[in-house]
Amino acid sequence: MKKILIANRGEIALRIMKSAREMGIKTVAVYSTIDRNAPHVNFADEAVHIGENPSNQSYLIGDRIIEKALELQVDGIHPGYGFLSENDEFSKAVEKNGMIFIGPGHEAIRTMGDKLAAKEAVKKYDIPMVPGIDEAVTDVEEAKKIAKEIGFPVLIKAAAGGGGKGMRIVDSYDQIEEQMERAISEALSAFGDGSVFIEKYITSPRHIEFQILADNHGNIVHLFERECSIQRRHQKVIEEAPSCVLDAELRKKMGESATLVAKSCNYRGAGTVEFLLDSEMNYYFLEMNTRLQVEHPVTEFITGLDLVKEQIKIARGEKLSWKQNEIRFKGHSIELRVYAEDPQNNFLPNVGKLSVYQIPKGDGIRLDDGYREGMDIPIYYDPMISKLITYGKDRNEAIQLMIKAIDMYRIKGVETTLSFGKFVCQHQAFVQGNFDTHFVKTHFNPDDLKEIKDEEAGWAALLALKLHHEEKNILRTP
């Protein structure tokens, strides 16, 4: 591959381009009208306009992106994550037009994109799954009967879902009808598919996922796990690698299950197999994400591998360079997703202009972003500004470095999740590793952030005063 098009925007487009450039591969950026001066557009070797601001008029129009790629004689297309990354028709169309889709085949995307089809595919490998039904249900009375057999609480989930959409927890028999209607409606709105299924709700789960790589020659390995239990609205905010609760034996078992999930759908490329881990350390297959994950940098830190480069190597037919027993991890890494959201107002988006944007730097600190000072956070896309990642020799060092990096990161003009990240890293439950996916509901009170913000404002005022005095002294020096 000599030239690839990145069918995405922002930090992930920029991150992919950097690895491609190091491999000597030219890059093409695509952009909507509002993104015309974005960093990923300026960094690319070539850039092409694909439509107006709403994603359904630009980044989601696969035919237009393919048309532009053909005009520019592109060899491959990398979808990043979000947008078209898990669209099997787009993957199929890319390859039909003689280009390489830097990701799995369309059959794997289709299978793993449907939760019921995914369950069916992995069933023959005897991988633990949450008790429930393996078929879609639309009849309320049938749903009530199934829920009663499984036992409350149950979870109603969209078969084509993801990101917490089309998901409802039901605690009692009389809630079934209302919650089912809501789940179906939300699933139709988000995915165009109202199919839902019912499974047992694991009350205090941890969310553990395994990074896998698979080549076109039948080789599959995992790159260990990521702990993703700190979430809001069923969506991740903080991830880390490795998990502080897995021992070597459980890690080996879960890793082997993850590679079997990949095998079940003839997977190729980078993917992530997600599990729920209950309080008794039993794990259950949840789903597979057939793309690069937002949180992939923590895996890169502990393994020393570049996952984008590995994706490109696999896509051009190369074999994996190592076997499972040759892969090691070292140290600990934590990632905070920095969203333009207000944690004091139920994490609602808080878009606007970045009037101040000063990034943290230093050993063990990595920042993947797609914005610069003075830019607007558009209302049209996901409000993530950046990913702040730290690495230390152990978990405590990574946590302390994250707190330091948050303090160094100055953003004004929008509310962000930085203060929430600092709250988590200073909370005893997180520090001690005693948490699950209900951390926010159990431990977080928006008023807790006021104290953090007041403290930060005090330090900022002292720093400004110190700088003022230093400047005065400099001016007085003859």
Residue type, 245: V
Strand partners, 206: 277
Q: What is the DSSP string of 337-388?
A: EEESEEGGGTTEE---B-SEEE---STTEEEEE---TT-B--TTS--EEEEE
Q: Give the count of alpha carbons within 13 A of 231, CB side only.
A: 17
Give how far Cα 399 sits from Cα of 154, 232, 258, Å. 35, 20, 28
Whole-number Å distance between alpha carbons of 431 and 443: 13
Give me 460's structure tokens.
Answer: 């900022």
Residue 236: name the closest of 193, 262, 207 by CA. 207
**Cα–Cα distance for residue pair 420/430, rounded to 1 Å:** 13
Joined together, the tokens standing for residue 214 give 């698979």
Helix (H, G, I), strand (E, B) or coil at 295: coil
**Amino acid in position 130:** V
Q: Which residues are the active-site residues?
A: 291
**DSSP states along 128-181:** -B-SB-SS-B--HHHHHHHHHHH-SSEEEEETT--TTTTEEEE-SGGGHHHHHH
Structure-token match 């990074």, residue found: 211
Locate 383 and state its tokens: 């409000």
Contacts for 429 with CB less than 8 Å, ≥ 6 apart: 435, 439, 442, 443
Angle made by CA atoms 304, 420, 341, in degrees to the nearest 5: 100
Sole residue written with tokens 């949180």: 295
Among residues 462, 419, 409, 475, the alpha carbon closest in space to that of 444 is found at 419
The pairing of strands 76-78 and 100-101 is: parallel
**H-helix or E-strand spanning residue 270:** strand 269-277
Residue type (1 letter), 343: P
